[in-house]
Amino acid sequence: MKFKNTLGVVISSVLASSSFSVLAQGQGAVEAEVFGKRAFMESNRDVTDGNLFGGSIGYFLTDDVSLNLSHGVYRSIRSQDTLPGSTHGREQIDGHLSTVEALYHFGTPAAQSLRPYVSAGFGHQDLDNTFTRGDDKTTFAMVGAGAKYYFTEMFFAKAGVDVLHSLDTENTEWQAGVGVGLNFGGSTQPVQVAEAAPEPMPEPAPVAEEPAQVVRVELDVKFDFDKAQVKEESYGDIKNLADFMKQYPQTSTTVEGHTDSVGTDTYNQQLSEKRASAVREVLVNQYGVEGQRVNAAGYGETQPVADNATDSGRAINRRVEAQVEAEVQ
């Protein structure tokens, strides 16, 4: 497969992702990536180092574990042969590498997050027109490590190193590279199974209805100054809200972000929106509340609940609030 065809397939997958109404990381997500790597070849293979360009697609089996398939083509590899009278010396070498790998990601899925990873898998390499072997094919066992930075919930950049050990020749090679990609489709909706219609029952005698009672849960998450990261101590309160919403699936909520008065109005508005989005990310991706049931809104510094003239008052105003109500008989 030519590089431009491989790249075209990956780019088409990336562009198609823009039609998804739900874009999120986590279990069930798909990642599409394009990459470039520098390949450092074993010296006894009589070829120079070169570049590998290609694309990959991965599926998240859990929030942390993904299964990835990739294909790349080699460029700038030449024969090292310098035998007298040879017509093959310094010839261009064509080739490709296909891999299947499992990746384990550390950290929590979220926008503006760094997720280191380790990987392991297998690859098949085919180099054409080499002087010593002709069509040089080998199967690799692979391990690697690197990191991904998610600029948004959807878009990420990646850097990593892979070590490739040939199962055929015992050679060991390595590659270092970078890539960019998209993550989408992680908040899939459960399939609703229609229940069989119950058999008609005799109409019961009328009974006096008891008045419905309203039950409510409220959330108040505090943030450090000029930060939008959810602190570990707040995860328990967020989980309580998520459990309540799962118990009453007809409910929905709006997560409201706020700031203190330090900074410009525009900056505080953006910061309040980031705080609301961060709490929404935990509800949806960490604790499994359906995305369409949770909205996020920022109000900047316009709705203080304490005096912004004091440190303690400003600390109270740096918050995200939400509440959910449900009627029960």
CA atoms within 13 A on the CB side of 319: 17
pLDDT tens digit sequence for 42-84 = 766 677 888 999 999 999 999 899 999 999 998 888 776 654 5
Q: What does the pLDDT read at residue 85? A: 52
Give Rg (Cα) of the chain. 27
Q: Choose the weakest-confidence range: 25-29, 96-100, 147-151.
A: 25-29
More confident residue, 90 or 181: 181
What fold is seen in the domain 3-184?
Porin (2.40.160)
With 50 as the cut, is the pLDDT of residue 23 above it?
no
CB 106 within 8 A of CB 64: yes
With 70 as the cut, is the pLDDT of residue 3 above it?
no
For the chain, what are the domain ranges?
3-184, 213-328
pLDDT tens digit sequence for 25-38 = 778 889 999 999 99
Name residue 298's beta-bridge partners: 257
Q: What does the pLDDT read at residue 276? A: 93
Q: What does the pLDDT read at residue 210? A: 66
Mean pLDDT on 117-121:
95
Q: Choose the weakest-confidence range: 10-14, 96-100, 123-127, 131-135.
A: 10-14
pLDDT bracket for residue 329 (50, 70, 90): low
Regarding pTM above 0.75, the answer is no
pLDDT bracket for residue 110 (50, 70, 90): confident
The rounded percent of the chain whose pLDDT value lies above 70 is 79
Region of residue 59 (left: phi > 0; alpha: psi -120 to 50; beta: else): beta
Q: What does the pLDDT read at residue 153? A: 82
pLDDT tens digit sequence for 201-226 = 777 766 666 676 778 888 899 999 99
pLDDT tens digit sequence for 284-302 = 999 999 999 999 999 999 9
Mean pLDDT on 166-182:
90
Name residue 181's beta-bridge partners: 33, 156
pLDDT tens digit sequence for 135-147 = 778 899 999 999 9
Query: How far is it between the farthest Cα atoms of the chain?
Result: 106
What fold is seen in the domain 213-328?
60s Ribosomal Protein L30; Chain: A; (3.30.1330)
Highest mean pLDDT, choosing among 9-18, 157-166, 180-189: 157-166
Please provide residue 283's backbone torsions phi and psi, each rounded to the nearest 5 degrees: -60, -45
255-273 residues labelled b (16+ CB within 10 A) or e (exposed): bbbbbbbebeeeebbbbbb
Structure tokens at 99: 């891999």
pLDDT tens digit sequence for 255-271 = 999 999 999 999 999 99
